[in-house]
Amino acid sequence: MNIRLTPRAKRDYIDLTPRLQRIVKKQFDFLVQSIRHPSLWAKKYDETNDIWQGRINDDYRFYFHIAGNEYRILRIIPHPK
């Protein structure tokens, strides 16, 4: 599987601190290895639109869509607690 960031997700990523960017990269590596990796806590977020949610850390989540051989990252945002 491959990772592709939408333009909005790219802007989200650029706005993160360098430390958070490193964590995001690590989590994306885990996603490529297995969507079931325990640190991702990946789950279906929106069944109707086929959007998934993955965990970056306690404070951030990323949202993605699976299309063929690609994870399309839609957003990287603070977790709405």
Model confidence pLDDT, tens digit, residues 24-79:
999 999 999 999 999 999 999 999 999 999 999 999 999 999 999 999 999 999 99
Q: Which neighbouring-strand residues pair with 65?
A: 51, 72
Task: Tell me the pLDDT band of 80, cut-offs 50, 70 and 90.
Answer: confident
CATH number reported for the structural domain that contains residue 20 in this entry: 3.30.2310.20
Residues ≥6 apart with Cβ < 8 Å to 61:
53, 54, 55, 76, 77, 78, 79
What is the domain count for the chain? 1
From start to end of the chain, where are the E strands? 2-5, 43-46, 51-55, 60-67, 70-78
The domain of 63 spans 2-78
- Check residue 65 and give its pLDDT: 96
